[in-house]
Amino acid sequence: MITVELQPEPDDFDSLVKKPGQDFLSKVPRPRGKQWKNKDFWCDVIPYMMEAYNSICAYSSLWIKPDQPTIDHYISRDEDPKQAYEWENFRLARWRINTSKRNHKDVLDPFIIGENWFELDFTTFGIKPNPKLDENERNAIWKTIELLKLDNKDYRDARAEWFDAFRNDISKLEKKAPFVAYEMKRQGIN
């Protein structure tokens, strides 16, 4: 993972998402399960998020295919329904990561993680915490890796494939796998 900067909300965010969401919550203040059906106004801004975040998953730092993006509510809708329609609570995420995260509170927020918290092992394409961090930070990183399954074979393979495809063109690698590109530069891999 790398730090993700919050991008400005779209000009029509209030009319597309916030206002209809607040209207819904004024009638159903604590929605559960099926009550959310057809109230996922946040989906209307997925194309904007794909553009604003360069189609990169906030958690895996890997490119998302155009038919696979989702919006993760960093603070879950069940925990705080008022956050369901707030731009600052949205994270662009791959479907599988969003499904893995669910309502877990132990996942680090890509908007606030520090520089060099995660490291990439170029022999296995596995990720791990920076050993220079304190024990609490390392434990939080391991928990995030575990909950989101960021170190499973599929993600290792994806990082390796992007590296193999674009290791000689860092600008393309930055567009498809920015964490891999960042780690190449940090570790001095050419």
Q: If the chain, 190 residues long, is cut into consecutive pieces of 10 residues, what is the mean pLDDT of each piece?
A: 93 96 95 91 95 96 92 94 96 93 89 93 96 95 96 95 94 95 92
Spell out a b/e string for 133-142, using b for 16 or more CB atoms within 10 Å of the CB, else e: beeebbebbe
Is residue 5, in this structure, part of any structural domain at all? no
89 and 149 both lie in a single domain: no
113 within a domain of the structure (yes/no): no
pLDDT score for 1:
85
Query: What pLDDT is stored for residue 184 in this prediction?
Result: 95
Structural domain containing residue 144: 118-187
Compute CA distances 132 → 1, 31, 103, 115, 124, whole Å: 16, 43, 29, 12, 20
User: 74 and 148 share a domain?
Assistant: no
Please check whether residues 18 and 49 belong to one and the same domain.
yes
In degrees and rounded to multiples of 5, residue 150 shows phi and psi of -70, -15
Q: Structural domain tally of the chain?
A: 2
Report if residue 55 sits inside a domain: yes
> Among residues 53, 49, 41, 60, which one has the least CA distance to residue 10?
49
Beta bridge partners of 121: 126
Per-residue confidence (pLDDT) for residue 104, from 0 to 100 = 85
Are 71 and 132 within one domain? no
Taking the complete model, does pTM exceed 0.85, yes or no?
Answer: yes
Cα–Cα dist 65/15, whole Å? 27
What pLDDT score does 117 carry?
Answer: 95
Q: Tell me, what's the pLDDT at 105? A: 85
pLDDT score of 33? 87
Same domain, 95 and 124: no
Q: In which residue are the tokens 């520089």 written?
A: 115
pLDDT score for 190: 73
CA 60 to chain centre: 6
Give the sign of the dihedral formed by CA 18, CA 23, CA 24, CA 28. positive
**Are residues 133 and 89 part of one domain?**
no
Provide the pLDDT for residue 102. Answer: 83
Q: How high is the pLDDT of residue 30?
A: 94
